[in-house]
Amino acid sequence: MRSRKTEISGKRAEALLFPIATFLRAGGLSKKAAVDRMRAAFDSAHKLVRARRIEHIGHPLLYADIVALWAHDMRFVDEAGRPRALAIEGKNEFSALVRAVDKQATAGDALGVLIRFGNVRKTRTGKYRLVRPLFFTSTDKAMAFEPMAYFLSDASSTLGRILKRTSRSRGPELFWRKVETAGLSSANAHRFVEFVRERGQEFLEELDDWLESRAVRGKTKSRRGLRRVGIGMFSIDSSAELARPRS
């Protein structure tokens, strides 16, 4: 069952907290003070989790791969190359799509997750249509736990590897880039987010096409030597005072 609750291991939690601990220590916070602040943050998080539904869906790559294959594989697109509406059962229909990604996955469970987070809609004919080319993981009422956990883990891992990197380090040189200003009105902040949604979607779809054209799928039994590679985008929204503190 893919939707079983995911537990965070102590080792993964330590890796997640490493860049934060480095930041706090460099900022002059003592170990005792850092532990006290972590305890207070944990208590605050308990209240937030109870206020908004956090749903466990299992490994998010399953759903991302389903969406990617649906959008790119010739078996699941129409003559114009667009993802076609799929029935549940049948040759080259939704169940076949899910089995092509993971033979152990259950089509009904996968479809339920994709529908709940607005990635798939049921048509009047009873078929299901892909409405988003990338896997979305949150709504106004709920958020999927595992994608959030992987996002935090990826961000911390990137910063952690930058901190630990030496001239002899192997692998690609990871990076962290951003653009920002502390001089936008609320109205222009909303316009900026919408602008980035549109342009960022186009950019991510282009990158997704690049990755999918080079990904190894079903060609090897061993995953040894393969790497998980990608890029993530997130928006920034805070007060100008936080961005540029008074001296």
pLDDT per residue over 82-133, tens digit each? 999 999 999 999 999 999 999 999 999 999 999 999 999 999 999 999 999 8
Q: For position 1, what pLDDT does the model report?
A: 40
Q: What's the pLDDT band for 177 if we cut at 50, 70, 90?
A: confident
Percent of the chain with pLDDT over 70: 89
Q: What's the pLDDT band for 221 if we cut at 50, 70, 90?
A: low
The yes-or-no verdict on residue 5 having pLDDT over 60 is no
Q: For position 91, what pLDDT does the model report?
A: 93
Cα separation, 122 vs 85, in Å, equals: 9
DSSP structure class, residue 244: S
Residue 41: Cβ-neighbour burial (10 angstroms; 0-12, 13-18, 19+): exposed
Domain boundaries, the chain: 61-130, 177-220+228-247
Neighbours of 95 (CB within 10 A): 20
Smallest CA-to-CA distance from 189 within 199, 180, 176, 178 is with: 180
- Provide the whole-model pTM: 0.73
For range 45-50, the mean pLDDT: 66
Return the CATH number of the domain spanning residue range 61-130: 1.10.10
DSSP structure class, residue 86: B
Q: For position 2, what pLDDT does the model report?
A: 44
For range 141-158, the mean pLDDT: 86
Q: For position 167, what pLDDT does the model report?
A: 78
DSSP string, 57-103: -S-THHHHHHHHHHHH-GGGB-TTSSBPPB-SSSTTSHHHHHHHH-T
